[in-house]
Amino acid sequence: MGLLGVAIPSRYDIIIDMRLVKEHDEILRRRLKPFDFEDPVMDPHELVAGMQAIRKEFGGVGLAANQVGIDARVIVIGMGSFESEGTEEFETAYFNPVVKSIMQGEIKMIEGCLSFPDLFIEIKRKQNLVMSWQDADQKQWGERFGGMVSRILQHELDHLDGVVFTQRAQHHALDKARKNRKLTQRRRKRLDRAI
């Protein structure tokens, strides 16, 4: 399916056509339902595989289920080719995550979002969070996260609650990011015409 998405055959005799949804899709602004392991929308392992495939295809470090049109509280993260001090290559999934606490000082960093192509905004987030979740096999986990992983999880947790990162930005930072986006898109069009 290329850049459009991933069709996932399911043992439930259905095909889930996962496609990256863009910024104006209403599902991005909806609080998602818990993933129901007793009556799942699809096999949890297949869901994770499809979401990770889309995350990698678009070069992201995190993806929430609503970004592929699925109403379920599921997040996948992974570093892929992204490099940051103190991080290692990994991929993991979080089903029905619950934030136990968000702590310590705030740090501003530039964030992007796969559902908002070419938009990069300075966002202030807490340094650390404690979270519990289930894995694809329903095993319960809990951990404290810091640094880049904490930031990625906070961004994706917002998605699960229907909050997009533009809502976290200060007005002047959002205006600046939108102007930069327009410039980037104009440059890309000029380059595409020149090729």
Q: For Cα atoms 149, 41, 13, give the angle at the middle one, nearest 5 degrees.
A: 130
> How distant, in Å, are the alpha carbons of 24, 75, 99, 127, 155 from that of 166?
12, 19, 21, 19, 11
> How distant, in Å, are the alpha carbons of 25, 46, 152, 169, 170 from that of 177?
20, 35, 19, 10, 11
Identify the active-site residue in 38, 57, 122, 156. 156
Quick check: 95 and 73 in contact, CB under 8 A?
yes
Q: Which helix (H) or strand (E) holds 140?
A: strand 140-146
Our answer to whether residue 156 is catalytic in this structure is yes
Instruction: Give the integer Cα–Cα distance in Å for 77 and 59.
Output: 11
CA neighbor of 53 nearest in space, from 108, 14, 5, 96 = 5
Task: Using DSSP, state whether 115 is helix, strand or coil.
Answer: coil
> Around 60, how many Cα atoms within 13 Å sit in the side-chain half-sphere?
28
> What residues act catalytically?
156
